[in-house]
Structure formats: C-alpha cells, structure tokens
DNA sequence: AATATATCCGACCGGTCGTTCTTATTTAGT
DNA sequence: ACTAAATAAGAACGACCGGTCGGATATATT
C-alpha cells in the first residue's frame, strides 16, 4: 500500500473541513462563513486551517470543488444510472428535489446560495461559480438533446429553453422551500417538470403516472 | 403645508440612504452591506446613520420596505394598469424581466439576493423577507385566479402551480443573467411564460404573437 | 538515532465591523 | 432672544475579521 500516515491524516482533515464548509456555506454563504466559526465547529484551531489553504479564497475555491463532487454523487450519479431520454431528465430533477427535501445541507442548496451571493462580485470565486453553473447548464441541455435524438421529445424542441425551464423549477424550489411551505413547494417543483415532460413526450409510458 | 424643515431634511436623507442601501444590498446582500461603505458612498458619516436607525437590523428592515416600494412602483404598478386576466399576468412578468434587463440594480434583484442570503438565518430580517415573499406569491396567485374566473384560463387550472412556474422563470432569470449570457436568459424567461400562457389560454388574441 | 517533513496549535497583528458617547449645527416654537 | 428638538459629525469602544509566526507533535526517511 505504501500509505503515508501524515498525508492520510491531512487528507482526512481536508475533506472533513470541506464537508463542514459546504454545509455552513450553504446557509451563510461563502463569504458569510468565517474561518473562526469553521474552525470552532470542527474543534480545530483557526491557524490550523492555514496549513491546508493559504488564504480564505483558496479554501472557498476548494469548498466549491467539494460541493461539485457532492452534487455529482448525489444528483448526477443517480440520473446517469437510469436510461437516456426523458426518464433520465426526470430522474435528474427528482434527485435534485430529493436532495433538497432530504435536508442534506442546512441551507438547502449550496450553489443557489453562493451563486446569488457572488453573481455581482468580480473575482476568482465568482468566475469559478460561473464555470460550474455553465457546465451544469450544458449537462442539462445535453440530456434534453439526447431525449430529442431518441425521439422521446419532438424534433423541433427548443433544447436550451426546456433546460432553462427545468432548472428554473429547481432553483425556485431551493428558495421557496425555506421561506414558504416546503411540502407544497416540492410538490410544485416535481409536478411542474412532470407535467411539462408529459405534455411534450409522445410516449406516456416513459414517465410516472399520477401527480402522486 | 406646515412643513418642518428639520423633518423634511431628515426624510430626504432617509430615502436617499435607503435607495443606496437597496442598490448596494442587491449586490452584496443585506449583511454584506457594511455601514461604513454605505456612509462613505453617500458622503455621510457612519454615526450619522444612527440618528435615523438605532441599529443595523433596523436599517435592514427599512431597506426591505424601500425595496418593496420600488418593486410595487416598477413591477406591480404597470401590471395593474393593464386589464385583468392573462394579459395582466403577462405584463407583470414582462415588467419584471424589463426591470432585470434594465440593470436598475447592480445586483439584479434585491429580493432574490437577500432571500437566499437569509433563508437559513433566523431573525427579524428573515421573517420580514418571508412575509414579503408570501405576499408576492399571494398576489401572483390572485392574478392567476382572476384569469381563471374570467375564463381566460381553463376552469381546472392549478392556480398555485401556475403561479409557482411563472415566479420560477423570474427567479431563474435573476440568477442566470449575471452568470451566463443575459440576452439568452431574458429570452428564455419571457418565452417560457409566454408559451405556457398561450398553451393554456383559449383566446390567442389576448397574448402577443411571435416568440419575438 | 538523527534528520526531514507534514500537521496543527497558541499568541498575536493590523484592520474593519457595529455601536456608543459627546459635541456642533440647523430649525421650530415661544 | 431662548429653549427644545432634530440632524449631523468625530472620536473612541470592544469584538471579530483574515492572516502571520514560532514552536510543538507526529510520522517517515536515512
């Protein structure tokens, strides 16, 4: 194996810190998250954090990467394990709402919170968030395009528009679920996309039945 | 008349401060906005602000009220000047996108930014934002219900769901327009709602023609 | 056994935060 | 003119911010 105990310990600490950072930042934002609070809630000294990241911005960037990995594991992974086409689109959206409803993160959605926090502040963090968001959008559009290619959506479908609509239902869910009734919000988020896909898809058997 | 010069001056200062506060908070959030920056960008001393609001939280609450007034004037006002029904719904959404596209506020949308900022932080600010958001949702639902009553939308329409969908397109526009291509975003936001309403409304003459 | 490396801590720095206190200026009422 | 009230400025406060530094500890290499 040849594992270096020192490096292993560092890696363990690093991921533990980043997991907590993602969690805290989902509620307070990446700027609202202070190194003092982060260190304290980990039972670690503040200066210890600087052994792993040379500045707060570096830690913020690392936190974003960690959140991306979590998103990939929790939302994109499950979707990729279902067959291409409208079923995969639906699975992706459903996994997203499950993620919000499962209250995995105290703030609901790391990306929604941080992207609104930084969308008007120039800098490396904003640029990275914009990249991540662009990649997410491209992924969603690819899924929609695949469904069109498979004939599960009409040939003339506006791919980018449909992707926009699906993502909009997700973003709105992240926001409303914390300020209004969560259950009603999740029902709307799921039903909105399901209705929309069902209205477009010529084969009704590909999508679940009732409004459930 | 009976104008008190002292009170008049105070009122003038107060609205000037709040206008700037709304503008800054739309970009940095209500917490990210610091009293020092606010005072400096107004050419006013920091302690002078405390003559008008006893604490930062009080100023934050006043800023929310000012943002509500601005929203009412810019988005709700124009909508109420068009006839009830689907045309009013469309006018409301259109005025909202115009507001974003006009870059009135540097951060795009005061409410989107602050509601995401505070949706996981207990306190008076969050409660006030939740109230405002609930009132906005109720207003949108009332507009949709009116359209149903007028027969401009089918009788079985899920009012709350449709209101959710329309608002979701708006929220998504506020977010995406700052991180991705703004023009494409606004086109999607407008087209999404227009398509949706056109698909539901039995009288096509009530809504504008092309995808424009 | 000695040395090098990675991790982590406690103490401390300058700066900014929200807030308070004291004081000066302007205007209204008498 | 004189008092009272409202509006402002200035200086200073304790708390916390991100960040630095020297040293202590644990692990690997030789």
Instruction: Please report where in the chains the tokens 């509620």 appear, as a residue.
Output: A27
Residues B11-48 pLDDT 10s: 888 999 999 999 999 999 999 999 999 999 999 999 99
CA of A55 to C1' of D13 (A): 29
Q: Which of residues 16 through 75 in chain A touch B, CB cutoff 8 A?
A: 26-29, 31-32
Determine the Cα–Cα distance for residues B42 and B50; give it in Å rounded to an integer.
14
- Coil/strand/helix, residue A202: coil
Confidence label for B1 from pLDDT (cuts 50, 70 and 90): very low
CB contact under 8 A, A113 and B113: no
Burial label for B39, CB within 10 Å (0-12, 13-18, 19+), is middle
Size of interface A-B (CB pairs under 8 A): 130
Residues A68-118 pLDDT 10s: 999 999 999 999 999 999 999 999 999 999 999 999 999 999 999 999 999
**What are the backbone dihedrals phi and psi of residue B113, each rounded to the nearest 5 degrees, phi first?**
-60, -50
Residues B96-130 pLDDT 10s: 999 999 999 999 999 999 999 999 999 999 999 99
Q: Which of residues 145 through 174 in chain B touch A, CB cutoff 8 A?
A: 158, 160-161, 164-165, 167-169, 171-172, 174
In this structure, is the CB of residue B25 within 7 Å of any atom belonging to strand C? no
Residues A47-78 pLDDT 10s: 999 999 999 999 999 999 999 999 999 999 99
Q: Could you tell me which of B162, B168, B116 has the C-alpha nearest to residue B141?
A: B162
CB contact under 8 A, A164 and B185: yes
* Predicted model pTM: 0.95
Confidence label for A4 from pLDDT (cuts 50, 70 and 90): confident
**Taking the CA of residue B187 as centre, how many other CA atoms within 13 Å lie in the half-sphere pointing to its CB?**
12
Residues B131-146 pLDDT 10s: 999 999 999 999 999 9
Q: Is B121 on the interface with A (CB under 8 A)?
A: yes
Residues A145-168 pLDDT 10s: 999 999 999 999 999 999 999 999
CA of A100 to C1' of C14 (A): 42
Q: What is the pLDDT of residue A212?
A: 47
CB nearest to A108's CB, from B26, B112, B119: B119
Percent of chain B with pLDDT over 90: 92
What burial letters (b/e) apply to A67-99, b meaning 16+ CB within 10 Å?
A: bbebbeeebbebbeeeeebbbbbbbbbbbbbeb
């Amino acid at each position: 194996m040849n594992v270096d105990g020192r490096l292993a310990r560092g890696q363990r600490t690093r991921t533990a810190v980043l997991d907590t950072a993602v969690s805290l930042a989902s509620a307070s934002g990446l700027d609202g998250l202070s190194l003092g609070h982060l260190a304290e809630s980990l039972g670690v000294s503040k200066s210890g954090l600087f052994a792993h990241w040379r500045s707060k911005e570096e830690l913020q960037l690392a936190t974003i990467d960690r959140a991306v990995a979590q998103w990939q594991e929790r939302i994109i992974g499950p979707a990729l394990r279902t067959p291409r086409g409208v079923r995969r689109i639906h699975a992706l959206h459903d996994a997203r709402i499950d993620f919000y409803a499962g209250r995995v993160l105290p703030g609901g959605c790391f990306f929604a919170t941080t992207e609104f926090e930084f969308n008007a502040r120039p800098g490396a963090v904003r640029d990275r968030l914009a990249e991540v968001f662009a990649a997410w959008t491209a992924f969603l559009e690819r899924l929609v395009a695949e469904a069109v290619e498979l004939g599960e959506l009409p040939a003339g479908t506006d791919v980018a528009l449909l992707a926009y609509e699906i993502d909009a239902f997700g973003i709105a869910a992240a926001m409303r679920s914390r300020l209004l009734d969560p259950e009603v919000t999740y029902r709307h988020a799921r039903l909105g996309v399901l209705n929309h896909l069902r209205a477009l898809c010529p084969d009704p058997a590909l999508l679940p039945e009732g409004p459930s």
